[in-house]
Amino acid sequence: MHYEGTIIRPPSEAGSILLQVTVGCSRNRCTFCGTYAGERFRIKPEEVVRADIDYAAARFRRQRRVFLCDGDALVLPQERLVRILRAIRERLPWVTRVGAYANAKSLSWKTVEQLRELRDLGLGILYVGLESGDDVTLARIRKGADAAKMIAAASKARQAGIKLSLTVILGIAGRERSLLHARETGRVLSAIDPEYVGALSLILIPGTPLYDEWLRGEFVLIEPEEMLRELREMIASTVLTQGLFHANHASNYLPIKARLPRDREAVLALIDRALAGELPLKPEFLRAL
């Protein structure tokens, strides 16, 4: 496989064939992210992608899923994506689902009809970094879209029948807007109603703009207990139609996996026990991105 630069994928795609169709991230301006620092976004030559599909056809016959790397494969022109998905279907007929990262910009560029075409060719899930539903926080971290644009973009994928997995970040709003960030994020999650939500706890990365803000005292990194209170408020404010809410990423202090609304009260009680000191939190040295 012809991999270039940094390859990332969601935890749920650990067993997937990783097919790199772009290098880097089309946005690459978020203040908290250092994944593609210094990496110029580019689309990989189609013949290289096709060669990788042929390679996978010969060697990866046990994998049932494909994930299109890197940071925002959906930004590819529709015709290019259609050809890639058709090649996957033709050469890897055992694959049952294709996934990719997306953002508000790339989703806004696609019509619902185009997204349905991609779904019919095997695109089954999109992973979107929502991060926050608070417009002030979204502007501060340079996400490139406000809450209304996030809702509109993600809703197009829902209309097209493509599953959504949204990521939110605990602590990203700092101390001053912590609970407001939690409530607004719950509101936006409820409006989108994704199949999956993954909550991460902020880890500051040296070299990123947000890390520099923290060094200058312009950003306050909240304590573990404050992140738990933020998580509690977010879950209490989120209404999903049987969606899964995960907070079991390696960065989190208290692992949680809940189907909402069924498990809401049990999860809130679990967080309350942790806040009361009845449950241990993950030590700092075990947290990771």
- Decide if 1 is inside a domain: no
Distances (CA, A) of 156 to 107, 124, 162: 7, 14, 9
Rounded distance between C-alpha atoms, residue 33 and residue 30, angstroms = 6
- Decide if 4 is inside a domain: no
Cβ-based neighbours of 47, under 8 Å, separated by 6 or more: none
Rounded distance between C-alpha atoms, residue 199 and residue 169, angstroms = 6
Per-residue tokens: 263: 């498990």
Distance of CA 211 to the CA centre of its chain: 21
CATH number for the domain harbouring residue 164: 3.20.20.70
Q: How much is the pLDDT for 253? A: 77
Residue 238: Cβ within 10 Å count = 24
Written as one letter, the residue type at 244 is: L
Tally the domains of the chain: 1
Q: How much is the pLDDT for 286? A: 60
- Decide if 5 is inside a domain: no
Question: 97-102 and 243-246: which strand pairing?
Answer: unpaired
**Burial of residue 91 (number of CB atoms within 10 Å: 0-12, 13-18, 19+):** middle
Domain containing 137: what range?
11-286
Mean pLDDT by 10 residues, the chain (289 residues): 89 94 90 87 95 96 94 93 98 97 94 98 97 98 96 96 97 97 98 96 94 97 94 95 84 84 93 89 67
- Decide if 130 is inside a domain: yes
Which residue blocks in 193-284 are alpha helix, DSSP H?
209-215, 224-236, 264-275
Q: How much is the pLDDT for 210? A: 97
- Decide if 3 is inside a domain: no
**pLDDT tens by residue, 67-120:** 999 888 999 999 999 999 999 999 999 999 999 999 999 999 999 999 999 999
Q: Are 235 and 274 in contact (CB under 8 A)?
A: no
- Decide if 2 is inside a domain: no
Q: 161: left (phi > 0), else alpha (psi -120 to 50), else beta?
A: left
What's the predicted TM-score (pTM) here?
0.94
